[in-house]
Amino acid sequence: MEGNSKQQEINSIKSEFTGRCRVTDGVKDKFTHSITIQPQNMDVTIKFQITETYPGFIPTISVRSSSLHDDDNADLVDALIIEAKTMLNKPMIKALVQFAEKWLNERSLGRGTKMKKPTSNRKHKQKKKPVDEEPEGKQASMKTSEDVIKRIQWDPDLPQEDFLVGYIDRFLGIQEKYFTAFSWEDIATVDYNVLAIPQHRIQYFKYKDLKVWDKNEKLDNVFGSLGSGKTITEIIKNYVPQETAEGTNDDNGSIQNVTGSDDSDSDDDIVVTLDTTSVNTSSYLDHMNKRPTHFIAIRLDNQETVQKLTDVQSCVKTNKPELESGFMPPACFHITLCTLGLDDQNKIREASELLKKCQDEFSKMRPVESLKLTGVDNFYNRTVYAKIKYPKKFLDFVDYVKLCFVNAGIPIRDNYGFVPHITILKVSKESSRRLGSRFQISDVYSDFKDGVLGSQSVDRLSLCKMGDERQDDGFWVSLQDIDLNT
C-alpha cells in the first residue's frame, strides 16, 4: 500500500473514531503503526499492528476487555483474522471494527458484563418444560442492582456515605466510587454534568471494605435473596474493619481518616464529573489509601477571566468574610482534566515523558473553540466553582488524554466523574459546621450565578503535583508543560 494511501486511511480512522482511537508509530523492522480502537459504547479495545506490506498482508490483531471470557476473546480475534483475509489489498480497519461491533452485538457481548457461557449452541427456541418437570428446589431469583439502590436510598438505617459502587468504566475497566457520588435518577433525565450510570454496568456494592452484593459472584447479603442467611442490617451490626479482622492495630489507615469529604488540598484538584474515572479492585481501605498524587490541568491564563473570578471572591468576602480563608489563590486557577497515581519516581518520569511524547497528538485533538465560563455553582454546599460551557470535542479530547495514560500503564485516580470546572472557593469542614446546616452557600455568590465570566483556550497542558508547594509564580508545581499551539 502506498504511503499516502496508508496515511489517508489513518487520517480517516482518526476522524471517524474521534476520542476512541489512538495511532502510534510502530517498532522498527516489526510494524509501522499501532492503531487501537474502542468500538462504540463497548468495554472492548482492538489493536491493529500494520506493517509496510499492509494491506497486502493482514494486521496483527489483539483484543482486550474486562468483560469478555477468554474463549470469547479468542473467538473474536479468530473471526477478525478470517474476515481480514477476505479484504486483502484494500483498506480494511474500519470495516473490521464494524464487523467486530456486529459480532459482539449478535452475541450480547462487550457491554460490561461477562455473560454466562451456554452449554450448547442451540439454534431453535427451547421448548417449555412441562410443569411436572420443574425442579422442586428451584433457586430464588437474585435481587437486582436497582433493588439495592432503592434500599440504600430509602432505608434510614443504611448510611449512604459508607457504601461503594463497583462498575465497568468504558476506558478503565472496574471502578469504585462512593454511592453518594452518583445521581440515581433516570439516566435519560439527568444533566450532562451529573454522574449517572446504566445499571447493567454495576458489578457490585460494598459496605466499607466488605462486598455485600455481587452480580457475577451471585452474592446478595443485602436482602439475603439467595439464601445466604445474611442481610445488610446484620452486616452493619456485626461489621469489623478489615484491618481489625486481620489483627493489625495501626490507626494510620483508619476509615475515619479517609472520607469523601476530606479537607486536604488535593480535593481542589479532583475531577468532579460524574461519568467516567482509577482502576481499583482492591479493598475499601486500599482504594482509599491510593489517593491521586498528580493531575493534568489547563492553567487559567486569560487575565480578564482571572479578574472576573476574583470579583466573585470579593463578592463572597463582602457577604461572608469568614469564607476568605478558603479562597483559591488567583495564580492557582485551573481546569483539571484527570488525576493520576504516580507513586514513585519511575511513574512520575513515565507520565512526564508521555505528556511530551503526545504533544503533537494532543495538539491535533484539542478543540480550537475556547471554553466559556458561564456562571457560578457549587458542589455539596462546600465547593464554589465556575461553570464551563464546552464543545463536544473537548470531552473527546479529555477522553483521548485519559486513554493515552491508561494505555501506557499509568493509573488514573479520578474519585469523581468529570464535570469541567474551576474551583473558586472551598469551605473547610470546620467552617461548614460553624455555619450550620441552614447555611446555603449559593446566597453568597447570587449576583454571579448566571453571569458571563470569560473564556479560556485549550492551548497548554501541565502535569502538576498535588500538595502545598507552589512555583515562584504562585501556580502548582508543574513537572511538565506542553504547548498545544504547535
Q: In what order do the strands lie in the sheet with 202-207?
A: 173-178, 163-169, 202-207, 210-214, 219-220
Among 216, 218, 289, 280, smallest CA distance to 250 is for 289
DSSP letter assigned to residue 80: H
Fold (topology level) of 265-483: Cyclic Phosphodiesterase; Chain: A, (3.90.1140)
Cα distances from 456 to residues 217, 268, 367, 448, 483, in angstroms, run 47, 19, 11, 18, 14
Each residue's pLDDT, cut to its tens digit, for the chain (486 residues) gives 556 788 899 999 988 888 788 888 776 556 788 899 988 878 889 999 888 878 877 888 999 887 788 778 888 988 898 888 888 889 999 999 999 999 998 888 866 555 555 444 444 445 454 444 444 555 668 899 889 998 998 888 898 889 999 887 655 667 788 887 776 654 443 443 445 566 777 899 999 889 999 998 899 999 998 888 899 999 999 988 765 444 443 433 333 333 333 444 444 443 433 433 333 334 444 444 468 899 999 999 999 999 999 999 999 888 888 888 889 999 999 999 999 999 999 999 999 999 999 998 899 888 899 999 998 888 878 888 999 999 888 988 888 888 888 878 888 887 566 788 999 998 887 887 888 877 888 888 888 888 888 999 999 999 999 989 999 999 999 999 999 987
Q: What is the CATH number of domain 3-106?
A: 3.10.110.10
DSSP letter assigned to residue 94: H
Q: What are the boundaries of each domain within the chain?
A: 3-106, 145-239, 265-483
Cα distances from 115 to residues 68, 69, 104, 362, in angstroms, run 8, 8, 12, 37
Backbone angles phi, psi at 327, to 5 degrees: -65, 140
Give the whole-angstrom CA distance, residue 70 versus residue 63. 10
Whole-model pTM: value is 0.52
Give the whole-angstrom CA distance, residue 480 versus residue 99. 40
